[in-house]
Amino acid sequence: MAHIEHVALWCNDLETLTEFYVTHFGATAGPQYTNPHRGFRSRFLELDGGTRLELMTLMQGVGAASASAVPTAGFAHIAFGLGSEAAVDAATERLRAAGRPIVDGPRRTGDGYYETVVLDPEGNRLELTI
């Protein structure tokens, strides 16, 4: 059976996004990978349970990479399972106190999920759920 091995996310500030996911979601950051030939840097972050998030950025004016190499369409959201309603509530308050925009929630959706939607530092939608 297939499973998600990792989710990749283009970003503008690799360090800021790495710090955000380490601080607020307990991710473990792997070493930074740099490919100067392609003008590309990335870093894998591992979350509880082995799920990985790859943060990727282009190096300005280096190698074969260009702004056209970045897709114009991104993901809709990344969902983080936190284990309980109490954990969703606690994360929501922690992120609100850190100044992160809370888009919606916490709430129970029409399809039964208990969730909060928050934006990361680059405006990507994160869904916090059980």
* Residue 65 in this model has a pLDDT that exceeds 60: no
- Which residue from 94, 99, 74 is spatially nearest to 82, judged by alpha carbons? 94
**What's residue 21's pLDDT?**
96
Q: Which of 51-55, 68-72, 96-100, 102-106 has the lowest mean pLDDT?
A: 68-72
Cα–Cα distances (Å) from 44 to 28, 39, 105, 108, 117, in that order, read: 8, 17, 29, 31, 23
What is the CA angle 52-56-59, rounded to 5?
A: 160
pTM for the whole thing? Answer: 0.75
Q: Which residues contact 81 (CB under 8 A, 6 or more apart)?
A: 129, 130
Q: Using a pLDDT cut of 70, give the percent of the chain over it.
A: 87
* Ranges assigned E (strand) in 4-109: 6-10, 28-35, 40-46, 52-58, 78-81, 102-108
Residues 25 and 80 sit within 8 Å (Cβ to Cβ): yes
Helices 14-25 & 85-97 angle (0-180, nearest 10): 140
Domains and CATH numbers, the chain: 1-75 (3.10.180.10), 76-130 (3.10.180.10)
**What's residue 73's pLDDT?**
45
The identity of residue 100, as a single letter, is R
- 79 vs 1, which has greater pLDDT? 79
